Structure 1
Amino acid sequence: MISKIVLQLICICTFLGAVQMSAQEKKYNGDPDASFEIARNLAFNKQRKQAQDTLLSILTKYPNYNEIRSFLATTYSWDGEYKKARKEFTSLLEKDPKNKNNWIAAIKNESWADMPFAALEMATEALKKFPDDAEILYLKASAQENTNNPIEALSTIQFILDKNPEDQKAKNFKFSLNQTLSQNSIGINSTVDLYSDVFDPMQYHIFKYGRQTKYGSIIGKVNFNRRFNENGLQYEVDLYPKISKGFYAYANIGLSNSFLFPDVRFGAELYKSLPKSFEASLGFRALKYSSTTTTIYTGSVGWYYGNSYWSFRPYITPGGAGTSTSGTITYRKYRSDADNYLGLSLGMGFSPETNQFNFNGNATSIINLKSQKINLGYYFSSSNKQNAWGTQFAVTHQEIIFDLGNYFWIYSLNLSWELKFK
């Protein structure tokens, strides 16, 4: 019996010793510089998996050998394993935020991963540590172009050329931007609303012309509505003036002589970029009918996270019978640039800003209507970025104005097209 127990102990000890020896065999034990050189040769000879295994093995013993970790991240990026690369670059930048090469490689990784907003965010952060650095500015301009901000990209490239007029790379980029930059656009936006009860289908059409300038953009619109078997037109102008870096405004005025629209609508809003990729705004809209003016106070909080965008916009409408509130939460998932994305929005409450009914005699009833809405959208552009299309489908559950407490459903389909040209 004792001999059997002794035999079992011997077996257990032998097994544990074998496991320990196996673990020791896996642990790196060699010259890290020599192994690094071998790994580099493997990587440049299309044997990247073997190179990565070697680099990871070295890092088990030398975790702070940053040059090896940087090269490992770069090989991940070459192979399209952008998440793995991002993890390594994040670790490197936390340890050594003054290493410019790692910033450049990390920004390129985001660009190659089709994450232009993340690339722009990183480039902006890197420029705080390396002000006016031409290589980082170039990457920033590239990200600006890919987020559909070619005028900002051109401004960044011009800054490089002001410092060094002979920078051939920047000169070529400027030429390319000038060739493709479209400062003018025309577009059509059409919506049909189908009601489950009470109302016949309603139509909304927008014909617009826009122009980008160095001071901001201006958009002129003609809005056509067909509701209640009547037709109506509204003429409108939107302005987006730039005030300073990260600070711009919105101003609007619209005129109509149809009861389907306010006689006059106007509004203004200020937008400010904030740290950590946030943006905030504050403003108002006013709708003036023949005998009443309704003022809506609004604002927004937006947040860019990688290629995602979140925002919340409330509407506050004071009235004689109290204050009406409504709000919308919006999410967008961008793809290659700002013209290509999936969108989702959820809304609660009724806002005169988005429902321009004539308020004469029943303003209080209208602005206090209960309503819930969901909207799905998909937007995409042509390969040359000149044409952009969009489609939206929305479902609204809304209280009936003359039958409070009862609801109907509204099914909305929206199609849009825009052509950009010089």
Structure 2
Amino acid sequence: MTSRKLSMPHTTLRRSAGFSLYAPLWLALAVSPAAWAQSSSASPPSLSEQMLQVRQLATNGQRDAAIERYSALLQEHPDNGDLLLARGRTYAWMGHYTQSEADLTAVVQRSPTYADAWSALGDMYSWSDRPQQAIAAYSHWVELAPQDPAAYIARGRAYRAGGDRDAARADFASARACGADPAEMASLEASLTRRTANPEAMINDGFRWTLRAGIDHTGFSGGRQDWNDVDVSLRRRFEHGSLALELLRADHFGRNDTAWALDGYTSLWPRAYANLRYQRGPDSGILPRLGWRAEVFQGVGSGWELSASVDHLRFSSDTEFYGVGVGRYAGNWYTRYKLQHVPGAGSGSWSHRLLVRNYYRGDADDYLELSLGNGRSTDFDNFGGIVRNNNAAIGAAWTHFITPRWGFKLGAGYADNADGFNEQDLSFALYSRW
């Protein structure tokens, strides 16, 4: 058995309206002798027809009833691999992976050339977040059906979930060569673009240099004087990371300060990378005289990313921020929650930040993002590590590349400042790559 899909006739059994198995005898006698003879000789539903009926139960949400029927049929046909396969698939749909694995493993042991069984086993491993076992199962399917693009697509997805993007790219190329839908393959190939918490710093998109120039305007309620911040950065990409030289200028309360910084990202070990930053400012002013950051990101499981960070700022005294975060990559979506703690009197202070990003074109260049937060926090990505203390804050941004070399970022935000002022923020940045 090497077929991909289990094929069954689409037969529906109907019972005439008003007819009952307990119909009076006179009704049966009223039927013509020929019809009586025909109904008497009618055979019961075949096994294929019964399996089709049970499958309809499973696909219509009545999976417990389907499992009972499959189990009853297996009592009558204990050596039927199709029945065992069908029950194993249903268990997998229900999330009962232990029972599903037992059934599907039994099928492939009995029939090691049954391609559909290896496909089902690979699906079960994928759904239960076991990409390495899924790859092994799908590899059997590929061997048995080397011209089936679905086999390469399934294994490519498993490779992607396991973090092996090169192997996934090779499988998607094989699927395309076998005649897979071009639009589907374009979407899958785009999904292999590596996404990180800071895409412009870690993504090697074929350009070595990126120049970024941005301006941020913050207005306040209550007659407080506006803030204006400007930054210019030149980033050089390398095979396993990037390094940027930044110039920062802040105009707050009628005072101007300038600082410079080095901001680097580098790969560490499989599925891990780090951000290291060093910044110098004036001896006294609105920007810190010294600042540094160390943050490590580690991918885990299927699409999850953990992080830990330390930020150090020196104004007239030293302040440190300790953070932990968890991110999730799912299709074209990226979500990240970060908790930061500032030691101090009592239990110190805490801040919470949530970022939701959608890569609406499937690449790493174009995305929409929404951010929410509260508490005392700092972010070196925002003009030199300005410390903000907000009761609540919300922001939105749009990053878009008009051409491969030119792009922009628009942002807007609102915050209820803990000092009693409300903030309204507008920002714009222009990107050039070569």
**What's the TM-score once normalised by structure 1's chain length?**
0.60
Aligned pair in 2 of structure 1 residues 227, 248: CA closer, same or farther (>3 Å)? same
Please name the residue that 2:355 is paired with.
330
C-alpha distance in 1 between matches for 2:384 and 2:363: 36
Which whole-Å CA distance do the structure 2 matches of 1:205 and 1:396 have between them?
Answer: 20
Equivalent of 2:123 in 94, 119, 122: 94
Partner of 1:397: 416
- Of 106, 112, 123, the match for 2:160: 123
Amino acid at match of 1:372: A
Structure 2 distance, partners of 1:309, 1:119, is 21
In the other structure, the counterpart of 2:394 is: 374
Q: What do residues 34-72 of structure 1 show as CA deviations (whole Å, max 9, x unaligned)?
A: xxxxxxxxxxxxxxxxxxxxxxxxxxxx89999xxxxxx
**Corresponding position: 1:270 with 2:318:** no
Q: Deviations over 1:356-378 (max 9, x none)?
A: 9999xxxxxx98x5521011122
Asked whether 1:343 is paired with 2:369, we answer yes
What does residue 243 of structure 1 align with?
268
| C-alpha contact (below 8 Å) 1:269/1:299 kept by paired residues | no
Verify the 8 A CA contact 2:161 2:302 in the aligned structure 1. Answer: no
Q: Deviations over 1:238-259 (max 9, x none)?
A: 1112222212211111111150
| C-alpha separation in 2, matches of 1:414 and 1:108 | 44
* Contact residue 189 and residue 417 of structure 1 kept, 8 A: yes
Could you tell me which runs of 5 or more consecutive residues in structure 2 were left unpaired when the two chains were aligned.
1-22, 32-41, 51-81, 87-117, 125-136, 175-184, 197-203
* Structure 1 counterpart of 2:329, from 297, 304, 313: 304
CA distance in 1, matches of 2:371, 2:280: 29
Q: Write the letter of the residue equivalent to 2:418.
A: E
2:267 aligned with 1:260, yes or no?
no
In structure 2, the CA distance between the partners of 1:108 and 1:371, relative to structure 1 (3 Å rule), is farther
Aligned 1:45-56 pairs, distance under 5 A:
none
Q: Does the 8 Å contact 1:260/1:358 carry over to 2?
A: no
Q: How does 1:32-47 map to 2 (within 5 A)?
A: none
Question: Match of 1:135, SS?
Answer: helix
Contact 1:273 1:279 in 2 (8 A): yes
Alpha-carbon distance in structure 1 between the residues aligned to 2:393 and 2:119: 40
Give the letter aligned to residue 429 of structure 2. Answer: S
Trace 1:201-212 onto structure 2 (pairs within 5 A).
201-212=226-237
Equivalents in 2 of 1:337, 1:288: separation in Å? 38
Describe the superposition over 1:143-200 as per-residue Cα deviations: whole angstroms up to 9, x where unpaired. Answer: 4764479xxxxxxxxxxxxxxxxxxxxxxxxxxx9xx710111011221111112412
**Structure in which a larger fraction of residues adopt helix:** 1
- Cα 1:232–1:63 change in 2 (3 A) is farther
What CA distance in whole angstroms lies between the structure 2 residues aligned with 1:145 and 1:409? 41
| Residue aligned with 1:351, SS | strand
Distance 1:353 1:133, change over 3 A: closer
Cα deviation code 1:73-98 (max 9, x no counterpart): xxxxxxxxxxxxxxxx9857326534
- Tell me if structure 1 keeps the 8 A contact 2:293–2:309: yes
Distance 1:184 1:284, change over 3 A: same
The percentage of aligned residue pairs carrying the same residue is 17
Q: Counterpart of 2:302 in 1: which secondary structure?
A: helix
